[in-house]
Amino acid sequence: MKQIERIQFLIKILRINPITLHELRVQVSEVLGACSLRQIQRDINDIHFLLNPNEKIASFRKNYLKYYHIIIDEVTTESGVLVNENIFKTNFYIQKKSIHIDYNIDTINRAIIESKCILISDIINDQTGDNNDFETKNIHLQPIKIIFHRNSYYVGGYNLQKKCIQIFGINQIEKVKLSSYCELFPDVVKLFNEELSNRFGVTKNIDSNTYTIVIEVSSVLAGFLKNNYWHHSQKFAKKNGNTIMYLKCGINRELMGWLFQWMYNIKIIEPPLLKEYYKAALNEIIFIDESKKSLVYKNIF
């Protein structure tokens, strides 16, 4: 194993999340072969030779452990935002680091590059609705894209057993390994692109239909919504003095949560089915609030 290969691998990891030297050694050993802790320390000292001009290696201590990561030095980014120590990041929507996530991303990325399938031996929780039936064992997936959404990583691909497109949070996956070669046919890629295009975010739709969604929006909220990206189909228009937002996508849990966050500043006009789901969710919230029963996980989608 050449040092330059190790350093390139380390850079990829350190750009994602802070990590300790011991964790780095484990990941390097799993992917590139056995490596000592002392060698990793030497690589860290030499890593600056291969970094971009605006990057630097940084470290901090937490719970007596030293973490390393790559940060962007004080520069003005393409968007015109000055990146420096005076900017405080809230970490809102950033998932807590999983001990598996770096390895998972690298394994999935290799599978995409090498046209291989992956075997997901164990997957937990329900992030996208694609495993809401909690079939968590031995999922054979042909990965197509790694998706970065709301500061979290997801893998989208074709389930070879169910013969359908599915998306899982990479943080959900506890055990994954490369499987056999699997040719990625154009019709599968097309199916994936259509599925992702029809989802609002990454969560599973209630059905295969695409709906024209019409929402009346209060004037102040309209100004905010127009200045942000929500879905590729979003359009705005004025009607009878009011701002109307149009979307063309499926109905899913993420869309419902997005609507609820605007509280009483929106009104659903179309379709009737979305209004029914919205009211059903409202009624369920009130029922649970007034009920003395213990909470049980539900997903009405």
What is the structure's pLDDT at 240?
81
Counting other chains too, the contacts that 15-19 makes at CB distance below 8 Å and 24 or more residues apart are 15/69, 15/70, 16/101, 16/102, 16/105, 17/69, 17/97, 17/101, 17/102, 18/60, 18/67, 18/68, 18/69, 18/97, 19/67, 19/68, 19/69, 19/102
Which single residue is written with the structure tokens 């350190």? 14
What is the structure's pLDDT at 97?
61
Which single residue is written with the structure tokens 């990941």? 27
Q: Which helix (H) or strand (E) holds 282?
A: helix 272-290
Cα(133)–Cα(189) distance, rounded to whole angstroms? 25
What is the structure's pLDDT at 8?
86
Architecture of domain 3-83: Orthogonal Bundle (1.10)
Fold of 101-198: SH3 type barrels. (2.30.30)
What is the structure's pLDDT at 270?
96
Q: Between β-strands 211-217 and 242-249, what pairing exists: parallel, antiparallel or unpaired?
A: antiparallel
Q: Which helix (H) or strand (E) holds 142?
A: strand 137-149
Which sequence spans correspond to the domains of the chain?
3-83, 101-198, 211-290
What is the structure's pLDDT at 253?
93
Q: What is the pLDDT along the chain (301 residues), one digit of tens a residue?
A: 577 888 888 898 898 888 888 888 888 888 888 888 888 888 888 888 888 877 888 888 877 688 899 887 655 444 444 455 566 777 777 776 666 777 788 888 888 888 889 988 888 888 888 876 655 678 889 999 999 898 888 999 999 888 899 999 988 888 888 888 787 788 899 999 999 999 999 999 999 999 999 999 998 899 999 999 999 999 999 988 889 999 999 999 999 999 999 999 999 999 999 999 999 999 988 988 888 888 877 776 6
Residue 33 zone, left/alpha/beta (φ > 0; ψ -120 to 50; rest): left
Token output for 157? 């691909």
What is the structure's pLDDT at 30?
82
Question: Distance between alpha carbon 54 and the CA centroid of its chain, in Å?
Answer: 26
